[in-house]
Chains A and B, each alone.
Chain A
Amino acid sequence: MPLITYRKALNDALAEELLRDENVVLLGEEVAEYNGAYKVTEGLWARFGSKRVVDTPISEAGFVGMAVGASMLGLRPVVELMFWSFSFVTFDQIINNAGCVRYMSGGQIACPIVIRGPANGGTNVGATHSHTPENFLANTPGLKVVCPATAYDAKGLMKAAIRDNDPVMFMENTLLYGEQWEVPEEEYLIPIGVADVKRAGTDISLIAHGRAVLTCLKAAEILQAQHGIHAEVVDLRSIRPLDEETLLASVRKTHRAVLVEENKPFCGVDAQIASLIQEKAFDELDAPIQRISALDAPAIYSPPLEKIQLPTPDRVVQKALSIC
């Protein structure tokens, strides 16, 4: 199986769907002639032309809203936000229009749009460019939210997202764009709403999404090598819909859970997960559920401190040891 980057996996998914369905159109700032601010759309404009791959001015509210309107008439726009941090200037279009139009029309109108882009800290770009709004978006019934951690997941989920009839918020990570994973050459899709056990274990469940999954995998190696603890790593992949069964099955097996995310703790995704576990698997727990999030301050610029602010394998190890 060839090794390809997370970026290439996304690029391949977009190209395959552009080929498959003429209603798919890519829109966003610098996605066409510039080849993408992070080169995710590289080569697609040259290959598919200006009708299918469209540069927009810096008008997130305008072009996201435009894509929502176009999706109501049956197009399948894939809109790039250069950063998910920029979603805040188009929140009305995402929450009120994409998120509510199906419901408010009594199911008469579909909104098959994908909004994608990186949502991560850790790149020394300061607080305004380091937001991880998956919790905000997953709070809106009507929206779907996915956070792939690997190239394989990114490709399969992107293809599923484009074919989905509801709005899908697709959160990538600039720190992962250049990382490589094995990705099959033949076509595959990953259903939205299915978690993945990235590493099997028996002693403790490390439950995460996005890049935090990789942090957990490193922590799991340390736990095994240095402490003889076999940690299971559950990658949620999709925040909403959420694969409750997979994560609850893991907790029922290990009886311990550490929840890890790069988002801030208050009202974070893991607050929901913790609530879920205590409600549905309380008797299975041998220890309190633990959480690790970004340290609860705006993303700091200073490079060495930002590294500390995000979850590290060592913090995960220490937290796991505290309940094992």
Chain B
Amino acid sequence: MEQSALGRGGDSPVVGSGNNGQECHPFSLANQEGTLTARGGVRDGSCYKGFRGVGFQNDYLCLLCGKICLEFPPNLENLNAMMETRSFADAEINRCLTAEEKIQFLRQMFRIRRFEQTSLKAYNAGKMGGFLHLYTGQESVAVATISLLGPNDHVITAYRDHGHALVCGMEMGECMAEFFGKATGCSKGKGGSMHLFAPDKRYWGGHGIVAGQTPLGLGIAYALKYKGIRGCCLCYLGDGAVNQGVFHESLNLASLMSLPVIYIIENNGYSMGTSLARSSAFKQMLAQRAEGYNIPWDHANGENIYEMRAKTHAAIERAHEESRPTVLEIATYRYYGHSVADANARKYRTPEEIEHYKTYHDPLRLWQKRLVDEGLLTEEQAAAIDHEARAEAEAASRFADESPFPTEADIFADVYSEVDHPVGEGPHGTHFFN
């Protein structure tokens, strides 16, 4: 693969010229004659990480301070590692992809995006209550990682769960109806947007408490191992969850008990309104905390589906073959606030930062361009896929709108198994009180 003058991975799609004017590039990185060199200046002494796009694109947006320029990294060796040029497209797991499979990734991303845009419209129209944690900007992560799962592999995630649910095979209609609190929702209107479940599709939610799902994913892996099933559990969490104690307890148990769980940290740079710089003492690499628990870890660029697939595949192999856990951190970005109710979404980061990501790092557009470049798709065909996704989302919205609400009697169903499914003499005692 080629190594561009700015350290781009050869399989990394590039949008636009990447040249936004010198003022946006206080330094740049160059690989000339095989030697990595760097030049530039320190702009903000508080920055260190911010290498989102390193080895990928020739401008840098610091996830810590939100500026589109940053200090030169103090550790060139680390930078070298991050700029490691590997052709993820050439990885076996990606070479075997058919054109239709690649197009399906695009279709899935369009489906998530249009579903969420439609849900946002409905939210703003007062069709649903509570929170709505949009995944927009992060779609590639769920699409790439879940694309590798086999029949004994499972998924569990936190409250930003719409994308994972759709990729796992849930219908837009049942998800939208759940948002609307309707009886036709996947959880009969009892869970809401944060709590989507489809255990028949090995999708275990949808959990509202930050990091609360991390030991549950561990338990799913535990049960698989206990039953002698060759499978694994992908357990997703955000960058804010890494500072919860139960995540660390889970890492220790995962390694100690040698369980096939893969923790995928979707690092979008913000735990609600608190940037990584203000929330994590060790900012360089969240996944590196795994070293403290003797767990292999890796880092992937959330814009690069090939890279995520290659690294997730390695983790799944480790889980299947060795029953060992992995922590995989994926750099990504959310365009909307923590939730739609996050009134300060444009205050704790600059509008320019958000626009920059939309313009240069949009995973959907990047993948579409990639497929066009590979000759697998025309722009017109991509537009048709988009159109289908919009139509599907609109239909889901209509379905949700027209569906009935649960009845008052439904409040007391699905609390106790014994009450719902009485056997023998039936349930004993009073289960509900006033």
Q: Which A residues are within 8 Å of any B CB, using their own CB?
A: 25, 51, 56-57, 59, 61-75, 92-93, 96-97, 101-110, 141-142, 144, 164-166, 191-194, 238, 240-244, 272, 276
Does B204 touch A at the CB level, under 8 Å?
yes
Assembly CA distance A108 to B174 (angstroms): 14
Given contacts A57-B256, A75-B226, A105-B197, A69 and B218 within 8 Å (CB-CB): yes
One of A63, A93, A109, A191 near B199 (C-beta < 8 A) = A109
The answer to whether B209 touches A70, judged by C-beta atoms less than 8 angstroms apart, is no
Residues from chain A with Cβ under 8 Å of B249 in the complex: 59, 61-63
The answer to whether A244 touches B429, judged by C-beta atoms less than 8 angstroms apart, is yes
The answer to whether A243 touches B428, judged by C-beta atoms less than 8 angstroms apart, is yes
Residues from chain B with Cβ under 8 Å of A107 in the complex: 188, 413-414, 420
The answer to whether A64 touches B197, judged by C-beta atoms less than 8 angstroms apart, is no
Given contacts A92-B212, A105-B195, A193 and B428 within 8 Å (CB-CB): yes
The answer to whether A102 touches B207, judged by C-beta atoms less than 8 angstroms apart, is no
One of A102, A191, A243, A276 near B417 (C-beta < 8 A) = A102
One of B224, B256, B428 near A194 (C-beta < 8 A) = B428
Does B214 touch A at the CB level, under 8 Å?
yes
Residue total for B at the interface (Cβ-Cβ under 8 A): 56
Contacts beyond the supplied A104-B190, A141-B415, A243-B430: 19 A-B pairs with Cβ under 8 Å: A61-B246, A62-B250, A62-B252, A66-B216, A66-B253, A69-B218, A70-B219, A70-B226, A72-B216, A74-B223, A92-B212, A93-B246, A97-B216, A108-B198, A109-B204, A142-B416, A166-B417, A194-B428, A241-B416
Does B26 touch A at the CB level, under 8 Å?
no
Residues from chain A with Cβ under 8 Å of B413 in the complex: 107
The answer to whether A241 touches B216, judged by C-beta atoms less than 8 angstroms apart, is no
Assembly CA distance A80 to B219 (angstroms): 16
Residue on B nearest A236 in the bound complex, by CB: B429
Task: Give 11 A-B contacts (CB < 8 Å), ordered by A residue.
Answer: A62-B249, A63-B253, A69-B218, A72-B220, A73-B219, A75-B226, A93-B215, A106-B197, A108-B200, A109-B204, A241-B431
Residues from chain A with Cβ under 8 Å of B204 in the complex: 69, 72, 109
Assembly CA distance A185 to B253 (angstroms): 38
Given contacts A65-B216, A106-B186, A242-B429, A75 and B223 within 8 Å (CB-CB): yes
Most buried by B among A51, A92, A192: A92
The answer to whether A69 touches B415, judged by C-beta atoms less than 8 angstroms apart, is no
The answer to whether B209 touches A106, judged by C-beta atoms less than 8 angstroms apart, is no
B55 to chain A, nearest CB (A): 36
One of B207, B215, B415, B431 near A62 (C-beta < 8 A) = B215
Residues from chain A with Cβ under 8 Å of B224 in the complex: 73
Does B433 touch A at the CB level, under 8 Å?
yes
Assembly CA distance A141 to B217 (angstroms): 24
The answer to whether B432 touches A51, judged by C-beta atoms less than 8 angstroms apart, is no
Given contacts A59-B252, A97-B207, A103-B415, A68 and B215 within 8 Å (CB-CB): yes
**Chain B 13-42 interface residues, beta-carbon cutoff 8 Å to A:** none
B422 to chain A, nearest CB (A): 12
Does B297 touch A at the CB level, under 8 Å?
no
Does B191 touch A at the CB level, under 8 Å?
yes
Residues from chain A with Cβ under 8 Å of B189 in the complex: 106
Given contacts A69-B218, A75-B223, A102-B414, A108 and B187 within 8 Å (CB-CB): yes
Does B205 touch A at the CB level, under 8 Å?
yes
Given contacts A57-B252, A69-B223, A192-B428, A62 and B218 within 8 Å (CB-CB): yes
